[in-house]
Chains A and B, each alone.
Chain A
């Protein structure tokens, strides 16, 4: 019995991590429905377009994260390595909701000159979450 409890206790953090992108999505879905009553679902294809396009500024998300987020990127100015964004390749991504929000806030201001909508964030997560190791095809 004791072994069972221990194994549950040990597995909990991993279960929490695997859940986190799903939980984040659920939160963004609620927010998106509030922001836009016609909201239905997130779209990986729309997320990919958002990620790869420029939005009036010098940078797109891909400028630093590359167009293949299963690979490491590089800060466009400093050359600093940025680990892959796809959670299948880098499980630390989106494991912490506060950290995710912080980086969306900063990077959206750089790329779109404003904070991203819940729809935009959810779409990007849908795309990143759909990627598998081996690269974007």
Chain B
């Protein structure tokens, strides 16, 4: 009996490093943006109108430009109290993307080179389907988007609406 317990304890102890490794292994693939914990004010202010995008999706220059024009934010007034804007700007800058894929300085995450490459297999009909409608609607396919999780294992692409049936023969 004693021996069984020791064996069980030993095998548990041996599994520990693997468990730790699995937990540490980010389930995003290498080219996807890394996750950084989001401040509550970012989730509330920016996440009020769209998924709170991971800061690593754009380089710091792009975030600066975005934060400087919040009163005209893609056709909408998203202006913030100066103190909140400062907190958000600092967090975005600290966690901004730094990879070569972020060399271009687009304002829209959905125009960033890494975004375009990661989504190049998605047909136009899917982007246009009523369930998706906009590339900004991450949560339409990425079920973990709210948590900042964009793993490929967590993607469910809604079916594009079928093409309209051709008009039948007139009777």
Contacts and interface: CB of A to CB of B under 8 A. Distances in A.
Interface of A: 75, 77-80, 102, 105-107, 109-110
A3 B77 CA distance: 48
Contact of B77 (A77, A80, A105): A105
A21 to B, nearest CB: 20
B122 to A, nearest CB: 16
Q: Is the interface of B mostly helix, strand, loop or mixed?
A: loop
Interface residues of B, number: 19
Contact of A78 (B49, B71, B81): B49
Contacts, number: 39
A77 B74 contact: yes
B79 A77 contact: no
Contacts of B75: 77, 110
Interface string B42-55: 00000011110000
Nearest to A102: B81
A77 B136 contact: yes
B137 A80 contact: yes
Contacts of A105: 77, 79
Query: Among the interface residues A75, A79, A105, A110, which one has the most CB atoms of the partner chain B within 10 A?
Result: A79
